[in-house]
Amino acid sequence: MLDRQQRPILATERLRLRAPDAGDVEALVRLVNDPDIARMTTGIPYPYTLDHGCAFIAMVEAADPAHDLPLLIEHQRYGPMGMVGLHRRARAWPEIGYWLGREFWGLGFATEAAKALVEFATQSRGHRVLASGHFADNPASGRVLEKLGFLYTGEVIARASYGRDEAALTRMMVRLA
Ligand SMILES: CC(C)(COP(=O)(O)OP(=O)(O)OC[C@H]1O[C@@H](n2cnc3c(N)ncnc32)[C@H](O)[C@@H]1OP(=O)(O)O)[C@@H](O)C(=O)NCCC(=O)NCCS
C-alpha cells in the first residue's frame, strides 16, 4: 500500500511501517532523546529537542522517497517505537538504518521492522545489493544485520557521530539479493 506521497506502508505480524508526520513529533522526541541512541547512530544529536523533531519531519516531507525513505515503526498496540530507513548515501548502494526507543529493545522489533524494509527494497525496488554498517562497539546492531542476511565486507571506516562528537569505527556489511 502507498500513502498520498507514494511512500509505502508496510505491515508485519506486530508492526506497521509508515512515513512519520507532524502528529508523531512528540512521541518521536520522547523515544529518541537518549544518549545511548545518539552514541550508536551518526545523525542523531543528544539532547534531542522538539525543534530537532520538527526539522526532522520537515526533512521527511521534503525527501524524495526514491533516495530517502525514513519510516516510523509503529506497534499495533503500543504505538510509535522508533524508525527504520533506506537511504542513499555517497555510496552506490542504499543503506538501511534503524533505532528503537529503549523500552522496546531486546524483543525482536528491530529485526522484524528492518526485515520488512529489506524485502520492500529488494522485491519492490529491485535493489540487488543493500549496505549497512554499525559502530564496532554496537554488537547488537551487527546481530540484527546478520539475522537479516547481511555479511561483513571486512571494510572498517570512520564515521562521524553527533552523539559522540567524534568519528567512530564502523564495520560495513552488505546483503546480496
Ligand atoms: C540496536 C537496536 C536497534 C536493536 O534493537 P532490538 O529490537 O533490540 O533488536 P532485536 O531484538 O531484533 O535483535 C537484537 C539481537 O542482538 C543481540 N544482542 C543484544 N545485545 C547484544 C550484545 N551486547 N552482543 C551481541 N548480541 C547482542 C540479541 O540477543 C538479539 O539477537 P538474537 O535474536 O540472536 O538473540 C536497538 O538496541 C537500538 O535502537 N539501539 C540504539 C540505536 C542503534 O544502535 N541503532 C543501530 C545503529 S547501526
The predicted-structure confidence for 101-127, as pLDDT tens digits, reads as follows: 999 999 999 999 999 999 999 999 999
Backbone angles phi, psi at 76, to 5 degrees: -60, -35
pTM above 0.95, yes or no: yes
| CA separation for the pair 23, 28 (Å, rounded) | 10
Which pLDDT does position 94 carry in this prediction? 96
| CA separation for the pair 45, 34 (Å, rounded) | 9
Burial 103-136 (b: 16+ CB within 10 A, else e): ebeeeebbbbbbbbbbebbbeeeebeebbbbbbe
Of the CATH numbers 2.60.120.200, 3.40.50.720, 3.40.630.30, 3.40.50.2000, which one belongs to the domain with range 10-127? 3.40.630.30
- Nearest atom, ligand 1, residue 147 CA: 34
> pLDDT digits over 67-92, tens only?
999 999 999 999 999 999 999 877 78
3-state secondary structure of 21: coil
Closest residue to atom 5 of ligand 1, CA basis: 110
Does the pLDDT of residue 1 top 90, yes or no?
no
Alpha helices in the chain (DSSP H): 25-32, 35-40, 50-62, 109-119, 139-147
- Nearest atom, ligand 1, residue 99 CA: 39
Q: Are strands 10-11 and 95-100 parallel, antiparallel or unpaired?
A: unpaired
Structural domain boundaries in the chain: 10-127
